[in-house]
Chains A and B, each alone.
Chain A
Amino acid sequence: MRWVNRQVRRSDAVLLGAVPIVLLLLVYLFLAVSRHAANPFDKILPLPQGMVTGMVPLLFQPDQLSGQYVFWADTLASLERLGLGLAIATATSLVVGLVLGVLPPVRATIGPLVTGIAVIPPIALLPILFIALGLGETAKVALIVIGITPVMVRDIAAYVGSLPREQIVKAQTLGAGSWQIMLRVALPQALPRLIHALRLALGPAWVFLISAEAIASDIGLGYRIFLVRRYLSMDVIIPYVAWIALLAIVMDVALAQLSKRAFPWAHGASH
């Protein structure tokens, strides 16, 4: 049987998907154990128990200086920045993308500007943001917003612009004006696409968050990773990275579920 025709059952798919992950973990463990056999104080590839010892104070003991549980304070700070950035970016891209996609004069006016902003590497703007907005929360949130909004705007605008012309014409023959078409025809159909765009933007958003925290911050997941790097604390860095990965996956799955629940018509006939 040709490989293109081989269907994988759901139970087999779970098993197959676990294989590379388990293999990777085993390879890590093997390397870590062999390094520790040569040098019991090795810091580069910590053993699981090493990670536990490294993480327990951060997880369960308040910091002597600030009185905070460091790991949870870091998580909260990072999620606040990320959530705020994502929320602003999502709202902006929905509104701007919608008017860009539906109204040709608006597209002609601000389309080039959006394209221009989109091609600037956001990290190159980070110094400007720090100078203009200071080193506080605003600059970090602004970096996330500037980093992901243009891409999302262009995606929404292109999607709305590619709605079948027949639908727009039909709406007009039903008495709808520009505003009503935007509100009742374009907006509802743009929402599932917006969630899709947001899912794709999660990756870049994390990159900008960690970058901003690495450069100027006093709390946050990215700040902690870059802080303990000075002490080669891989026993903290690796759990933190795994935690970030877990958070990102949970967000992605939650958004996918939200889209399926809220917009069943956008996910095929079987609803």
Chain B
Amino acid sequence: MSTPDHTPGAKSPPILSLHDVWVEYGDKIVLEKVELDFEAGSFVSIVGPSGAGKSSLLRVILGQEVPTRGRILLDGEPLAPECGPDRGVVFQRYSVFPHLTALGNVVFGLECVKAPLLARLFGSARKAAEAQAADMLAAVGLGDALHLYPAQMSGGMQQRLAIAQALIKRPRILLLDEPFGALDPGIRADMHALITQLWRDYALTIIMVTHDIREAFGLGTRVLALDKRRHDPHAPHRFGATAVYDLALRKAAPGAVDEPAAQPANIAQRASA
């Protein structure tokens, strides 16, 4: 069920593919027969009504949940059944560590891989990691907030921090679970500009779950709508959701500078905000 793709890399194998994925809780079926391929460099929005399994799908891709049936391949390799640094994530809330400053939150990702025993770096290694983290924070617009704790930040700043934290690991795929759902509209527009910018600058592959249809079409190169194909009024839980619409939008690949056609005009232009 691969989608026709307009990006230059359309011939390359998909970065992530789901084959016949089912998610069941007891006799309740949440996802059924999900067949999806994700191209490298795409920005996929997932929409759908509440309870249609959007977040379940994201958790399965993230490795937080193991599908009842089916195979998931990342770069052609079967996915390990737990979370790992190849898939970054930003949740709607609780994505950052409250006990670390902005800098500490971002450095943490570098410390984990380099210091397996103490998960802390010292001396010149620490200086280098902090410099790298500070650059990342500057890229998301938190250059002046390095030493603030999350509790001292606004919701938008916390989400910027969560994005910086995820990107420092250079994940193969960035997963966003309603990342801007709790932000007010003005801040949300700023965040749209930021994520579009980062998607291009870092050539990211992004999968975003959202409630907001405008956001889904505005940001994505491809929109997936999850819903149930079949409905049994006597046992509504016995049929799961799957991708009922799979729309590829005409839009420039990351790195391209021309204005994408399907994108609402206001979003990319607010990149300076």
Contact = CB atoms under 8 A, between A and B. Distances in A.
A171 B96 CA distance: 9
Contacts of B100: 188
Contact of A169 (B64, B112, B165, B168): B64
Contact of A269 (B151, B162, B168): B151
Interface in A121-177: 164-167, 169-177
A44 B97 CA distance: 58
Interface string A169-206: 11111111101100111001100000000000000000
B116 A177 contact: yes
B171 interface: yes
A263 interface: yes
B82 interface: yes
Given A166-B91, A180-B119, A265-B151, A173 B85 contact: yes
A175 B200 CA distance: 24
Residue from B99, B109, B113, B118 with most neighbouring chain A CB atoms (10 Å): B99
Interface string B96-137: 111110000000110111001111100000000000000000
A164 B112 CA distance: 20
Residue from A164, A174, A263 with most neighbouring chain B CB atoms (10 Å): A174
B62 interface: yes
Contact of A173 (B99, B149, B151, B171): B171
A105 B236 CA distance: 35
B99 A175 contact: no
A270 to B, nearest CB: 9
Interface in B58-85: 62, 64, 82-85
A266 B119 CA distance: 22
Interface residues of B, number: 38
B34 interface: no
Interface string B140-180: 00000000011110000000001001101101000000000
Contacts of A173: 62, 83-85, 87-89, 166, 169, 171
B94 interface: yes
B134 to A, nearest CB: 17
Contacts of A165: 64
Contacts of B89: 169-170, 173
B109 A189 contact: no
B166 A269 contact: no
A113 to B, nearest CB: 28
A188 B99 contact: yes
A112 interface: no
B112 to A, nearest CB: 4
Residue from A175, A185, A265, A269 with most neighbouring chain B CB atoms (10 Å): A175
Interface of A: 164-167, 169-177, 179-180, 183-185, 188-189, 263-266, 268-269, 271
28 contacts: A167-B94, A167-B95, A169-B62, A169-B91, A170-B91, A170-B94, A170-B96, A170-B165, A171-B108, A172-B84, A173-B62, A173-B83, A173-B87, A173-B88, A174-B109, A174-B166, A174-B169, A175-B112, A176-B108, A177-B112, A177-B116, A179-B117, A180-B116, A265-B98, A265-B150, A266-B98, A269-B152, A271-B151
